[in-house]
Structure 1
Amino acid sequence: MNVRSRFNKAMLGAFALGALLCATAAHAQTGWERAHPRRDQVLDRTRHLNLRIAHERREGELTASQARDLHGAVRQTRLEQRAMAHANGGYITKAQQAGLNQQENAISRQIGR
């Protein structure tokens, strides 16, 4: 077996191990995430939106004021989710989640302009 072949097999093994670890980590949920899947999904999206806004700001695709406004919109969505959950015993309904998703979709489109 030549060096290149061994290297390719080692890289393939490392990639497979990495994929397995990522898949395992993705399925590891806390009790709160299992008990509140709708809230968890909305909050995961708000985190991702904030990361995207920060990335676009660093890349120069967004101005400081645009990024500030978008972060404010994300914050407002998160606060609405919290208020909805407070009114429903800690949970949000499917309809509420759909409304929050629409708001997050609108923010997402603004980031990608």
Structure 2
Amino acid sequence: MTRQVSIQELLRAVLKLPPTSFESEFLFKSGYDTHQDHWKAWLEQYNSPGYYGRSDTTISDARTVYVRLNCGPMIIWLNEAAGESGSVIQAAARDMRLNGKGRAQTEAKIVRSHLPWERASLLLFR
């Protein structure tokens, strides 16, 4: 079982990662220069309505943020930048492109099936 990680701890870990990674560099960045920039903006505003108009602003743990995130490319970047193997990253990206049908929620679910929080947290907080 992994320890509970706060949103602020996740933000600090994200900011220590390289801003670009090979596979994820070719994925949609939602208007940001890098996926790291997207994560930074997402996490800094998480406990407020923020840009996305969140109604639940009481969430404090990183796992909940990760499993609720509806952006497969952000999840891929986080794991790739944290050191996940290239073959796992490529499989997640390929599966997302082939089966996600351009639906953000579906793409994120597919990606998380390859890159679960438990593995991501091990890579980020080793």
TM-score tier after normalising by the smaller chain length: 0.3 to 0.5
TM-score normalised by structure 1 residue count: 0.38
More helix by share: 1
- State the TM-score, normalizing by the size of structure 2: 0.35
